[in-house]
């Protein structure tokens, strides 16, 4: 038998490896060959200044760029849907390659062609010095652009606070106006760069070429100021001036208030004071002349006197300012130095329906209460026109007063002064009133009344608001008089002694009052005529009161 040759172990593996190696060498050769090819042309996905140069040599890319340059135009996208165009032809745009494309080609990684072929990579490139143009022509074209005309452009306007809006009940933030005024220091280099790189569009908004407002509607400070101001504008302050209603309006508060950057409010006190001054001007009636219809049916003008409303304007302005700054709402009663009976009806009727009317010519008094004649009485006024005419406020009223003057001291039961030391009071030393007694035996200026008349007036007037209107009226002089009885004259002392007796013991709490009353009774009694003294039927109570007073003072070392 023939002998078989021994088998070579591993020969199939070597064959496989040889085949793989051969394939690898072929693949590498192909890869290297393609890579070498891309040493002289641009990789797929390559663009230069936006022009596709994929697979092109430098010369081919130059031609492609030249072709695109001929149709080049830069479109400016502006606000309000406005566009403007700068063409390459207008500015004599030309290409000056100067080896820049070779530099770009040499810089590319030609071994990366598989990634480019598969589309997983792109190669945008930009050459800024490849183009040239006529600078003077570009300047002229740019100068003639509509967006470069500042005079025809709308400048930006900051957001601001509106005036008071009655419907909204406050102020609102008025949005800013963007306008279309460009910042030339930004736009000019942006245009030059866009042309140098052959960009097809330039979005002025995106590049921030417009001059922007410095304050926008979402500014925190402006929003805070609006919110703060609207808190104040929500205030409702109302003055009820009789039939009139005066309101501090939101529009006024807008004008009166200002705010710092933190929203803190400052009130213009001069404007508050001006408002209060106007309020006082409209409603003050003090010292005003009054048209008055007398009880005789004649209409006269009464001049002089201090009756009427008188606002304390500095105090009211201060109180109103404090109310505003505290954001308080409500009805305000002005701070008055002096009040009258009726507000908001003018001086002609501010004395209301309860007042005293004195006709010095007739020597007669009328007392109207709640619009009805309550009483009338003859009087004795000041000698030689010693009683002033006019409309007066009562200063106060006092029981058991002693009126002192040069060469006289007169105790009176009911004292109601209205003009300095001139007032209404009872006159226990007189038995007759009216007629022409005042001409020869008149008072020092006061209006003397019968006891009963003085008592009735005293008990039925509010001295803080009642008026006494004193006038003269030709043709009303009378010669007849009226009288008061000794019993009426004595009644004031009788009543005073009864009050002292009813008071009881003298104590530390009533000592001063009791002492004044007892001294007054002693003086008043001594002023009475004998006939009137005889009518003081409880005189013994005076002796008891004097003894009690002396005892209390001895006991307490007074």
Q: Which domains does the chain have, with CATH numbers?
A: 29-218 (no CATH), 220-352 (3.10.20.800), 354-555 (2.40.440.10)
Eight-class DSSP state of 210: B
- What value does the mean pLDDT take over residues 246-255? 88
pLDDT at 255 over 80: yes
Q: Strand, coil or helix: what is 125?
A: strand
Q: Across 5-9, 217-221, 338-342, which has the greatest mean pLDDT?
A: 338-342
Query: Which secondary structure element, helix H or strand E, spans residue 519, and what is its range?
Result: helix 511-527
Cα 554 → chain centroid: 66
pLDDT of residue 445: 95
Task: Give residue 124's pLDDT.
Answer: 79
State residue 519's pLDDT score. 94
For residue 182, give both structure tokens: 């460009």
pLDDT at 50 over 80: no
Max Cα-Cα span within the chain: 198
Q: What is the mean pLDDT of the segment spanning 396-422? A: 93
Average per-residue pLDDT for the chain: 89
pLDDT of residue 225: 83
The answer, yes or no, to whether residue 209 has pLDDT greater than 70, is yes
Residues 6+ apart with CB under 8 A from 111: 35
Q: Does position 160 have pLDDT exceeding 60, yes or no? A: yes
Residues in the chain, overall count: 558
The angle subtended at Cα 364 by Cα 358 and Cα 365, nearest 5°, is 50
pLDDT of the residue at 207: 94
pLDDT at 2 over 60: no
CB 443 within 8 A of CB 482: no
Handedness of CA 165, 169, 173, 175 (dihedral sign): negative
Tell me the pTM.
0.67
438-465 mean pLDDT = 96
Q: How much is the pLDDT for 314? A: 97
Banded pLDDT at 125 (limits 50, 70, 90): confident
pLDDT at 75 over 80: yes
Q: Which percentage of the chain shows pLDDT scores above 70? A: 92
Express each pLDDT in 466-521 by its tens digit.
999 999 999 999 999 999 999 999 999 999 999 999 988 999 999 999 999 999 99
pLDDT for 317-368, tens place per residue?
999 999 999 999 999 999 999 999 999 999 989 999 999 999 999 999 999 9
Rounded-to-integer distance, Cα 66 and Cα 72, Å: 10
Q: Does position 126 have pLDDT exceeding 70, yes or no?
A: yes
């Amino acid at each position: 038998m023939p002998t078989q040759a021994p088998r070579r172990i591993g020969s199939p593996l070597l064959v496989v490896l040889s085949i793989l190696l051969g394939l690898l060498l072929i693949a590498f050769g192909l890869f290297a060959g393609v890579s070498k090819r891309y040493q002289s042309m641009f990789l797929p996905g390559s663009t230069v200044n936006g022009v596709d140069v994929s697979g092109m040599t430098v010369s081919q890319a130059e031609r492609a760029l030249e072709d695109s340059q001929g149709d080049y135009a830069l479109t400016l996208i502006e606000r309000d849907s406005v566009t403007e165009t700068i063409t390459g032809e207008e500015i004599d745009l030309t290409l000056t390659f100067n080896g820049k494309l070779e530099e770009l080609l040499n810089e590319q990684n030609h071994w990366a062609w598989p990634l480019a072929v598969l589309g997983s990579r792109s190669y945008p490139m930009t050459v800024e010095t490849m183009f040239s143009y006529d600078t003077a022509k570009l300047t002229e074209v740019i100068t003639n652009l509509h967006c470069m005309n500042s005079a025809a452009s709308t400048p930006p306007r900051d957001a601001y606070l509106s005036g008071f809006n009655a419907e909204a009940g406050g102020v609102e933030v008025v949005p800013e106006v963007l306008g279309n005024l460009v910042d030339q220091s930004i736009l000019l280099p942006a245009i030059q760069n866009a042309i140098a790189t052959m960009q097809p569009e330039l979005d002025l908004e995106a590049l921030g070429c417009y001059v922007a407002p410095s304050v926008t509607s979402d500014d925190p400070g402006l929003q805070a100021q609006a919110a703060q101001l609207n808190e104040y504008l929500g205030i409702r302050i109302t003055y009820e001036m009789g039939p009139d209603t005066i309101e501090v309006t939101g529009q006024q508060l807008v004008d009166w208030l200002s705010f710092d950057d933190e929203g803190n409010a400052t009130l213009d006190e001069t404007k508050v004071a001006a408002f209060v001054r106007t309020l006082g001007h409209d409603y003050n009636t003090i010292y005003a002349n009054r048209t008055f219809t007398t009880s005789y049916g004649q209409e006269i003008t009464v001049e002089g006197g201090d009756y009427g409303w008188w606002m304390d304007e500095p105090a009211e302005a201060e109180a109103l300012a404090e109310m505003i700054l505290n954001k308080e709402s409500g009805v305000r009663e002005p701070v008055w130095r002096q009040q009258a009976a009726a507000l908001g009806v003018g001086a002609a009727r501010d004395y209301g329906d309860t007042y005293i009317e004195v006709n010095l010519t007739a020597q007669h008094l009328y007392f109207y209460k709640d619009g009805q004649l309550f009483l009338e009485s003859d009087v004795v006024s000041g000698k030689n026109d010693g009683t002033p005419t006019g409309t007066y406020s009562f200063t106060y009223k006092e029981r058991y007063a002693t009126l002192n003057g040069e060469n006289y001291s007169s105790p009176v039961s009911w004292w109601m002064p209205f003009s300095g030391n001139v007032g209404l009071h009872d006159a226990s030393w007189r038995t007759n009133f009216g007629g022409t007694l005042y001409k020869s035996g008149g008072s020092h200026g006061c209006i003397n009344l019968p006891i009963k008349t003085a008592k009735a007036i005293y008990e039925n007037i509010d001295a803080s608001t009642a008026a006494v209107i004193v006038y003269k009226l030709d043709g009303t002089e009378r010669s007849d008089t009226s009288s008061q009885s000794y019993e009426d004259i004595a009644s004031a002392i009788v009543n005073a002694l009864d009050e002292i007796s009813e008071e009881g013991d003298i104590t530390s709490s009533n000592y001063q009052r009791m002492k004044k009353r007892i001294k007054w009774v002693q003086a008043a009694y001594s002023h009475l005529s004998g006939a009137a003294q005889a009518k003081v039927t409880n005189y013994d109570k005076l002796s008891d009161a004097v003894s009690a007073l002396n005892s209390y003072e001895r006991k307490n070392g007074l």
